[in-house]
């Protein structure tokens, strides 16, 4: 596949450069830093976001924390690790990447901590790129005909390595003339669909329409949707899957309208320590994200708000989970 004209992050000249996703699609601003704490802040603010990308960024942040230190210091390592682990609770890729970094830190015998952690971060990035490519290829198997697809949130190059997860499937299917049109949920409250997925679809020349989240049912009722594909932030062993708030609604709608509902995610999104979705920690975000749109206040400060960033779709509502290893149909059993 061709590469994109934009990139989510790049490690260059001993710095991490990342696109500020909160400014997209109107401004393509890149920020360069070697400060691990600045990268942690970027993850918290969603300047860097999307499950696999959060993990990759956190791995680079750990390496950069040792750029000017370069010798083992366990207290300092734990401080950096805990800072990054505290940024966002739901996407398991963050914890997977941090554990990989911790493993390589614990195996270091010489003093070149920076280069060792950096090579682990590069390896995590390369693995995710490889998974994205395989997910795209495996995803072709779910298309029975040229289809109209609905997606939620953002799962493209801005959320992962390569061309992402669900987005990579959509892009590859479009290149294989298996996609007519993509319907994009705006994805309230932070509008990852309207701002980021629309941006990526436009850049890739894929025809799309954006609609409010509450329009999905009407599109299905009118027969406009052949299948729904989303990503995931954490998948339990039984297949229960956490993803952006509103994904569960879509799965229920698909079930009612007899439309296939697929999730695409790398194996690094499967949490092999939890049996069901009830064990997934859901992130709750500030009510400001609901009360303000684009810096403009639309609701009163006094309003009580309920702001989970993710929901959990029960496994039985998911037709299949596409990973780099293949397409797994329900019932799931990811124990290996």
- Point out which residues bind ligand MRU (CB under 6 A): 46, 49-52, 91, 153, 155, 159-160, 164-165, 192, 230-233, 243-244, 309
Calpha distance 71→108 (Å, rounded):
10
Residue 118 or 153 having the CB closest to ligand MRU = 153
230 versus 313: smaller Cβ distance to ligand MRU? 230
Tokens of 101: 């970094």
Is 233 a known active-site residue?
yes
Phi, psi angle pair for 20, to nearest 5° = -80, 100
Q: How far apart are CA 108 and CA 126, in angstroms?
A: 21
∠ at Cα 219 (176, 156), nearest 5°? Answer: 45
CB of 218 to ligand MRU, least distance (A): 23
- Three-class SS of residue 320? strand
Partners of residue 284 on adjacent β-strands: 308
Nearer to ligand MRU, 161 or 178 (CB): 161
The CB-of-50 to ligand MRU minimum distance in angstroms stands at 4
CB of residue 302 to ligand MRU, shortest distance in Å:
26
**Residue number with CB closer to ligand MRU (117 or 169):** 169
Provide, rounded to whole angstroms, the least separation between the CB of residue 244 and ligand MRU. Answer: 3
**Phi-psi group of 42: left, alpha or beta (phi > 0 → left; psi -120 to 50 → alpha; rest → beta):** alpha
CB-based contacts of 243: which residues, under 8 Å, 6+ apart?
Answer: 152, 153, 230, 231, 232, 233, 263, 310, 311, 313
Among the listed residues 222, 267, 211, 325, the one whose alpha carbon sits nearest the alpha carbon of residue 51: 267
Burial tier of 122 (Cβ tally within 10 Å: 0-12, 13-18, 19+): middle
Of the candidates 49, 85, 42, 93, which has an alpha carbon nearest to the alpha carbon of residue 233? Answer: 93
Q: At its nearest, how many Å lie between ligand MRU and the CB of residue 73? A: 31
The residue with tokens 């990989």 is 100
* Nearest approach, Cβ of residue 14 and ligand MRU (Å): 27
Nearest residue to ligand MRU by CB is 231
Closer residue to ligand MRU, CB minimum distance, 116 or 165: 165
Of 206, 252, 243, 217, nearest in space to 321 by CA: 243
**Nearer CB in complex with ligand MRU: 104/243:** 243
Catalytic residue among 233, 240, 271, 311: 233
| Catalytic residue ranges | 233
């Amino acid at each position: 596949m061709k590469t994109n004209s934009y990139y989510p992050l790049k490690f260059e000249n001993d710095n991490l450069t990342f696109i500020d996703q909160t400014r997209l699609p109107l401004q393509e601003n890149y920020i360069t830093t070697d400060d691990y704490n600045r990268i942690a802040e970027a993850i918290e603010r969603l300047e860097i976001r999307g499950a696999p990308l959060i993990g990759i960024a956190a791995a680079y942040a750990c390496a950069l924390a040792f750029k000017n230190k370069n010798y083992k210091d366990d207290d300092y390592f734990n401080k950096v690790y805990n800072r990054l682990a505290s940024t966002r609770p739901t996407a398991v890729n963050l914890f997977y990447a941090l554990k990989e970094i911790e493993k390589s830190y614990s195996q270091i015998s010489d003093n070149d901590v920076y280069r060792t952690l950096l090579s682990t971060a590069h390896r995590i990035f390369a693995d995710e790129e490889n998974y994205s490519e395989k997910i795209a290829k495996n995803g072709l198997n779910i298309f029975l005909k040229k289809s109209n697809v609905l997606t939620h949130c953002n799962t493209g190059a801005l959320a992962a390595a390569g061309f992402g997860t669900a987005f990579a499937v959509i892009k590859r299917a479009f290149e294989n003339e298996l996609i007519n049109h993509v319907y994009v949920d705006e994805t309230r409250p932070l509008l990852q669909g309207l701002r980021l997925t629309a941006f990526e679809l436009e850049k890739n020349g894929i025809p799309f329409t954006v609609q409010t989240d509450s329009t999905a049912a009407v599109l299905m009722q009118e027969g406009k949707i052949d299948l729904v594909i989303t990503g995931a932030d954490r998948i339990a062993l039984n297949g229960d899957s956490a993803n952006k708030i509103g994904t569960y609604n879509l799965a229920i709608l698909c079930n009612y309208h007899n439309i296939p509902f697929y999730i695409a995610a790398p194996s690094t999104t499967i949490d092999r320590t939890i049996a069901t979705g009830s064990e997934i920690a859901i992130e709750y975000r500030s009510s400001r994200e609901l009360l303000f749109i684009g810096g403009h206040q639309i609701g009163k400060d006094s309003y009580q708000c309920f702001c989970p960033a993710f929901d959990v779709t029960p496994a039985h509502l998911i037709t299949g989970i596409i990973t780099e290893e293949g397409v797994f149909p329900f019932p799931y059993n990811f124990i290996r």
